[in-house]
Structure 1
Amino acid sequence: MLFIWLCIIFVPCILIPVVVYLRPSPKKSVNGKHVVVIGGSSGIGKSVAIVAAKEGANVTIIARNVEKLNYAQKEIESYKCCKEQIISKISVDICDYESLEQNFSKIETIVGPIFMMVNCAGMAICGEVEKFTLDEIKQLVDINFLGSLYSVKAIVPKFKMRKEGIIVLTGSQVTLMGMYGYSVYSSCKFALRGLAESLYMEVKPYNISVTLALPPDTDTPGFANENKTKPTETKLISDTAGLATPENVAKKLVNDALTGKFFSYVGFESYMVTTLCTGMSPFSTFLDVIMEATVLGLLRIISAFYIISFNKIVKKCHENKTKKIM
């Protein structure tokens, strides 16, 4: 009898917290809310803006090129689900902190408080590290890291004051793994993880969530430009994975952000890399932790074959270059 009463008392005390931590967070809504997409004039950013517009959000896209902004604004407007939605645009250099901060305040006055900020701005220049010019290195650091840091610094006080908000930073698969030809670009994207994880801990008490998107190679204008500078080794390694569509990446990004997930990824390779590199990163539920712990060993073995394959590609290219020189 005593055993039964102990079970009645203690089992719920154990099961209730477990169920709470296993249960996924409810999905938030952007209907009627203000979503800002930096880098929203093309590629993944524009697709994110379209997804938000379809879900009833007021959307502001930010980029530098006025012509692209005008075209993107018209396209996004065609996806509105009600006439009252506001689709606006702002031309600003995200590496200019004061201008960015001022424009955030300006669009909040016109459109309303920002609820979700998605930073998709970025660019890649590939090549061996010694071949980069100092100007190219500065350009990559400014756009891929400082642009994200500045946008975060500008928006966080507003979110903290309102005690709500969603921040999405867009990295890449090379945010978590280095790859031939991405020495500078990958360094910038690795820095984003440190920013995202630290920021997550800083803003969590204010009901603000942080999502780090890790899209694979995606069929965008930016990817087309990136291919122009890729060494042969980088192209061959990249070709081992598929090419995602910006629409699929955007849908997953928005859904993951609205459900409070820290990592957002698409495809098996991204899943494998993300799981292998979880480390001390935030998690949504204990179910995620259990799944990661269960498959971690197997994925490490699979990843070893990927690494061996990549090293063979690099070695073969090196041998071919050596033969040409001789």
Structure 2
Amino acid sequence: MLLVVAAFIVAFVLLLYMISPLISPKPLKLNGAHVVVTGGSSGIGKSIAMECYRQGAFITLVARDESKLVQAKKEVEKCAINDKQVVLCISVDVSKDYGQVESVIKQCQEKLGPVDMLVNCAGTSFSGKFEEVEVERFRSLMEVNYLGSVYPTRAVITTMKERRMGRIMFVSSQAGQIGLFGYTAYSPSKFALRGLAESLQMEMKPYNIYVTIAYPPDTDTPGLAEENRTKPLETRLISETSGVTQPEQVAKTVVKDAVQGNFNSSVGPDGYMLSALTCGMSPVTSITEGLQQIELSHILYDYNIIIDCPKTVCSCLTLVIVNSD
């Protein structure tokens, strides 16, 4: 009897693997596609733009600082694979005025065609103990990190629905998966993106539009250098356990996931484990991914095995220490 049950389970799993490609999203071809990258003048955003350009995309870089945009454009153009590619730069604050953002998106679509993929990478970070963070900082982080993604997405979504195709990426953070000491202002603004991404994916899937939410770890960017100036000791110790990732590595991973239409995008083994631990009711892109999450959750929770996830471990230890007088 046990052999029959085991055979049935194996056959069922094999069947799921066979039909998974039939119901998974078709990859987006970046060659000739129009990709808009907000926060594209530096850091992860610039690296994502360069990665897409290497695959033949047309790029619109959106950021506030015009001088940084000009420099970023020169760097992106060096990654061209043909002489038809174009890099367009537009200076605007995507978190302040929706009307301006809508106008910018209309402008870039008139020049380079409909947006095939939107990468919401505009963001900022700050760390500090809750009672020491200025109240204004909570508002500004929510504006930049959350509304700065809502406005561009709102501006492209109608055209994507009409064309019944598109990709939308939200760049969150591992601090948007678990709350960490010192991130009482930053983490909520990144957690908000997950709620937006999950809700939006439900609405957009019938239109062949797929949402990806990326959870990069600490990455070697100007933003991280600025954040380190105010990091509490506890936050610094937690961060140091997993090291610093290069923006080029993050870009390759998240672009690949967005092209494939994967909902979750994590970087490195600890990022993968963290995504599995915090997957909750998030959408799964394929049956294979769902089965992996089920099995991994079973191992982690039932057998208490923690594999190469130092940031999660240190976060838990910090919480225990802080909460234990």
Tell me, yes or no, if the aligned pair for 2:73 and 2:89 is still in contact at 8 Å: yes
What's the offset of the Cα at 1:181?
A: 0.3
- Distance apart, 1:70 and its partner CA: 0.4
Deviation for aligned residue 1:293: 1.2
1:131 equivalent in alignment to 2:132? yes
Letter in 2 for 1:28: L
Secondary structure in structure 2 of the residue aligned to 1:298: helix
Displacement of 1:22: 5.7
Which residue identity does 2:71 align to in structure 1? Y
User: In 2, Cα distance between the equivalents of 1:266 and 1:15?
Assistant: 28
Aligned counterpart, 2:156: 155
* Partner residue in 2 for 1:188: 189
1:19: which partner in 2? 18
Q: Deviations over 1:246-266 (max 9, x none)?
A: 001001111000101001111
| Aligned residue identity for 2:65 | N
Q: Which residue of 2 aligns with 1:203?
A: 204
What does residue 226 of structure 1 align with? 227
Gaps of 5+ in 1: 1-11
Aligned to 1:274: 275
Query: 1:137, CA displacement in angstroms?
Result: 1.2
Identity %: 41
Q: Give the counterpart letter for 1:46 in structure 2.
A: K
Correspondence list, 1:25-104, <5 A: 25-95=25-95, 96-104=97-105
1:16 Cα deviation after fit: 6.0
The alignment partner of 1:183 has SS state of: coil
Q: Distance in 2 between matches of 1:156 and 1:130?
A: 39
> Does the CA-based 8 Å contact 1:236-1:313 persist in structure 2?
no
Equivalent-residue separation in structure 1 for 2:167 and 2:91 (angstroms): 22
Largest Rg, 1 or 2:
1
CA deviation after TM superposition for structure 1 residue 111, in Å:
1.3
Question: Does structure 2 retain, via aligned residues, the 8 Å contact 1:128–1:181?
Answer: yes
Alpha-carbon contact 1:233-1:317 (below 8 Å) kept: no
Do 2:137 and 2:185's aligned partners in 1 also have CA atoms closer than 8 Å?
A: no
Could you tell me whether the CA contact under 8 Å between 2:169 and 2:214 is conserved in 1?
yes
> In the aligned structure 1, how far is the partner of 2:323 from the partner of 2:212?
38
2:175 maps to 174
Counterparts of 1:26 and 1:164, CA distance in 2: 10
Q: Conserved in 1, the CA contact under 8 Å of 2:60 and 2:89?
A: yes
What amino acid maps onto 1:67 in structure 2?
S
TM (normalized to structure 1)?
A: 0.89
What amino acid does structure 1 have at the position aligned with 2:45? G
For this pair of structures, how many residues does the alignment match? 309
- 1:15 and 1:311, CA in 2 relative to 1: closer, same or farther beyond 3 A? closer
Match of 2:241 in 1: 240
Quote how far apart the aligned CAs of 1:289 are: 1.3
Q: Distance in 1 between matches of 2:152 and 2:27?
A: 24
| Higher mean displacement: 291-300 or 278-287 | 291-300
- SS of the residue corresponding to residue 36 of structure 1 reads strand
User: Paired residue for 2:263?
Assistant: 262
CA shift, 1:310, in A, is 3.6
Maintained 8 Å contact 1:256/1:264? yes
Deviation at 1:297? 3.3
Distance 1:194 1:14, change over 3 A: closer
- Distance in 1 (alpha carbons) for counterparts of 2:49 and 2:62: 10
Question: How has the CA–CA distance of structure 1 residues 85 and 229 changed in structure 2, closer, same or farther, with 3 Å as cutoff?
Answer: same
* Matched position secondary structure for 2:185: helix
- Asked if the contact 1:219–1:244 (Cα under 8 Å) also holds between the matched residues in 2, the reply is yes
How many Å separate the matches in 1 of 2:212 and 2:143? 21
Deviations 1:283-304 (A, max 9, x none): 1211111111112133342459
Matched AA of 2:230: T
Deviations 1:168-191 (A, max 9, x none): 000000111010001111011111
Cα drift, residue 21 of structure 1: 2.3
**Aligned partners of 2:90 and 2:38: how far apart in 1?**
9
1:154 shift after superposition = 1.2
2:146 aligned partner, one-letter code? F
Structure 1 residues 77 and 22 mapped into 2: Cα distance closer, same or farther (>3 Å)? Answer: closer
User: Deviation digits for residues 68-119 of structure 1, max 9, x if unmatched?
Assistant: 0000001111111111111110000101211000010011111111100001
Q: SS state of the match for residue 109, structure 1?
A: helix
Partners of 2:105 and 2:152 within 8 A in 1? no
SS where residue 261 of structure 1 aligns? coil
Bigger CA drift: 45-54 or 304-313? Answer: 304-313
Q: Which residue of 1 aligns with 2:144?
A: 143
Shifted more, 196-205 versus 265-274: the winner is: 265-274
* TM-aligned CA distance change 1:248 to 1:14, over 3 Å: closer
Deviation at 1:269, TM superposition (A): 1.5
TM-score (norm. length: structure 2): 0.89
Q: Deviations over 1:270-319 (max 9, x none)?
A: 11110011111111211111111112133342459956644545677899
Q: Is the 8 A contact 1:272 1:299 kept in 2?
A: no
